[in-house]
Amino acid sequence: MISFSNVSKTFPLGNAALTDVSFEIEDNEFVFLVGTSGAGKTTILKLIMRDMIPTEGTITVNDMDIASRSFRSVEKLRRSIGVVFQDFKVLPEQNVFENVAVSLQVLGTPRDEIKKKVREVLDLVGLKHKEKVFPVQLSAGELQRVAIARAVCGDRKIILADEPTGNLDPKTTWDIMKIFKKLEGKKTFVIATHNSDIVNSLKKRVLVLKDGRLVKDSRKGGYDI
Amino acid sequence: MNNLFTTIRRTPYQSLATFLSLFLTLFLALAIFFLMSFLYGLLGYVESRPQVTIYFQTTTSEQDILQVKRELESSGKVSSVTYVSKNDAYSIYRNLNKKDPLLMEMISPDILPASLEVFALKPAYLPEISDFLNRQTGKDEVTYQKNIVDRLLALTSAVRKSALIFFAFLVLSTTVILMTITHFKVALKKDEIELQRLLGASGGYVRKPFLKEALFFGFTTAGVVFGLFTGILYYLQTALGGYFGGMSKLAVSIYTYSLPVWPLNVEIGLVMFGFTALFGLSITIIATYLATQKYIR
């Protein structure tokens, strides 16, 4: 479970990224974060993975109070979270297999198990035939699928995706969403997006942000900013 | 291991810089270490020689000489006194010049002086013993090694102090150089490290490839330095052996253990390799640890 309670984040120069935001996301829930650029979507994702610390309020992830400055289990927290970045963060000098395997290597997974699990997840995202290919030879959609494979690999319970379809054409966007749909109910998804088609079509829970404030939380919502 | 060689191949200049700076440091450190061991061995050798020797006139009787020996022994200031009679001196002479028949023919026991070799209990007693011997009526010459020991002690002390300062400078400069090189390597992998951290990698996981490389360079460079230095010593052994011909063996006493330094042997070889490897590994690991510290906070 992810819980935000009266969370605010103000940057050192005084600009507020989030103001008094509270919500709860249950295990295995599928949630969209929507809002204009600068509304605070990425800030929420960074706070969940403790890439940032809130100025005020409490954040609980898997029963861990991660907002505290004395929180020391950042590695444990991040091992339960898979992240899909808008810019993919795929390492250019490593092939597809190696890019996905790193997710398991950091967990100390044995080599044989890594081979098996990476191939399973590459099959899931439709890249099994490209495991030895280097990123420079892949399309944007394929790169995003590599990033998704890396995020979902290793039994990570929470998947955070920051504009996962931001640079992709409509067909590839739907291919990516199909992958997420395959895993729905098995993991918690928090997806920050601008894509109104997807949000309106999937009818999932939507958290609407405006100027750093949570203005709407609808269970089967649409893209309404 | 494959990853290690891939990293080295992908950063050839940084790897070469690491090897060269480490090579220079380890070579100089090993040279200093061997020089210090040799000097301490030499000091021990000189200290083990008779510290005061009195040569008597050939006319002095054996009774008179033995009387002087007894007086010295009863003084409580000497650890031992060795009497070398004319015949003993002749035997020593024959042994030293056995390859030169001409020199053998010219000498008979009668013309060689008898002597007493005196070892003092403490260096402080040496002047007193020397004065006592100089007062003996049958003396021909008194040789006194205090100056040699004192000069060697002063030299060893000066070399030790200079070596410590030089050694500290070497350690500092090499650590900084290796840290800078590792910083470069870390910077090249910045994105990878950032990703690993976001995926929950521990500090140890991030450091591991850098530490592996440090271990590889520390150990390999130590091996190369040791091989080269030992090769040079073996090459020079004959020349050095001629120069230090009178000294059959040099050893350094470390508590109850005596480490043979000269001639070259397996024991000093093992100690030299151990010293070089330990120093090489320590310096590379410390530099790597410090260089990666910033990225794992």
Label each residue of B153-180 as H, E or C: HHHHHHHHHHHHHHHHHHHHHHHHHHHH
Whether B255 and B188 map to the same domain: the answer is yes
CB contact under 8 A, B201 and A77: no
Q: What is the dihedral of CA B128, B130, B133, B134, to 10 degrees?
A: -110
Whether B40 and B176 map to the same domain: the answer is yes
Question: How many other β-carbons are positioned within 10 Å of the β-carbon of residue B257?
Answer: 9
Asked whether B113 and B57 are in contact (CB, 8 A), the reply is: yes
Whether B172 and B156 map to the same domain: the answer is yes
CB contact under 8 A, A75 and B198: no
The CA distance from A37 to the nearest CA of chain B, in Å, is 23
The pLDDT value given to residue B278: 94
Whether B192 and B213 map to the same domain: the answer is yes
Whether B102 and B23 map to the same domain: the answer is no
Q: What is the ipTM of this complex?
A: 0.87
Give the number of beta-carbon pairs within 8 Å between A and B: 40
What is the rounded CA–CA span in Å between residue B113 and residue B56?
6
Which residues of chain B lie closer than 8 angstroms to A80, CB-CB? Answer: 200
Q: CA-nearest residue of chain A to B197?
A: A75
What is the rounded CA–CA span in Å between residue B36 and residue B264?
15
Nearest to B199 among A51, A76, A103 (CB): A103
pTM over 0.80: no
Q: Is A91 on the interface with B (CB under 8 A)?
A: yes
Helix (H) or strand (E) holding B262: strand B257-262
The CA distance from B197 to the nearest CA of chain A, in Å, is 8
Q: CA-nearest residue of chain B to A153?
A: B199
Asked whether B101 and B58 are in contact (CB, 8 A), the reply is: no
Nearest to A83 among B198, B201, B202 (CB): B198
Whether B216 and B291 map to the same domain: the answer is yes
Three-state SS for B13?
helix
What is the rounded CA–CA span in Å between residue B297 and residue B292?
9
Q: What is the pLDDT along chain B (297 residues), one digit of tens a residue?
A: 667 888 788 788 888 999 999 999 999 999 998 888 888 888 777 776 667 889 999 888 888 899 999 999 998 888 889 999 888 888 888 887 777 777 777 777 778 889 998 888 776 677 788 889 888 888 888 887 767 767 777 887 888 888 889 889 988 999 999 999 998 888 888 888 889 989 989 888 889 999 999 999 999 999 999 999 999 988 888 887 777 666 678 888 777 788 888 888 898 899 999 999 999 999 999 999 998 887 776
Domain boundary among B144, B162, B187: B144
Whether B95 and B223 map to the same domain: the answer is no
Asked whether B272 and B230 are in contact (CB, 8 A), the reply is: yes
Q: Is B200 on the interface with A (CB under 8 A)?
A: yes
Whether B38 and B57 map to the same domain: the answer is no
| Bridge-based pairing state of the strands B115-120 and B52-56 | antiparallel
Terminal Cα-to-Cα distance of chain B (whole angstroms): 27
Asked whether A164 and A7 are in contact (CB, 8 A), the reply is: no
The pLDDT value given to residue B50: 65
Q: Is A107 on the interface with B (CB under 8 A)?
A: yes
- Dihedral (CA of B152, B154, B157, B160) sign: negative
Domain residues for the domain of B7 are 2-47+149-296
Whether B159 and B105 map to the same domain: the answer is no
The pLDDT value given to residue A138: 92
CB contact under 8 A, A49 and B198: yes
The pLDDT value given to residue B39: 84
The CA distance from A70 to the nearest CA of chain B, in Å, is 13
Measured at the alpha carbon of residue B118, what is the angle toward residues B114 and B119, in degrees to the nearest 5? Answer: 155
CATH code of the domain containing B137: 3.30.70.3040
Q: CA-nearest residue of chain B to A52?
A: B198
Give start and end residues of each alpha helix (H) in chain B.
Answer: 2-10, 12-48, 62-74, 86-96, 101-106, 126-134, 146-188, 190-198, 203-243, 266-293
Is the pLDDT at A99 greater than 90? The verdict is yes
CB contact under 8 A, A106 and B205: yes
Domain boundary among B144, B166, B196: B144
Which residues of chain B lie closer than 8 angstroms to A93, CB-CB? Answer: 10
Whether B254 and B109 map to the same domain: the answer is no
Whether B77 and B211 map to the same domain: the answer is no
Q: CA B81 → CA A100, A101, B62, B69, distances in Å? A: 82, 79, 15, 7
Q: What's the total number of domains in chain B? A: 2
Domain boundary among B122, B144, B166: B144
Whether B105 and B232 map to the same domain: the answer is no
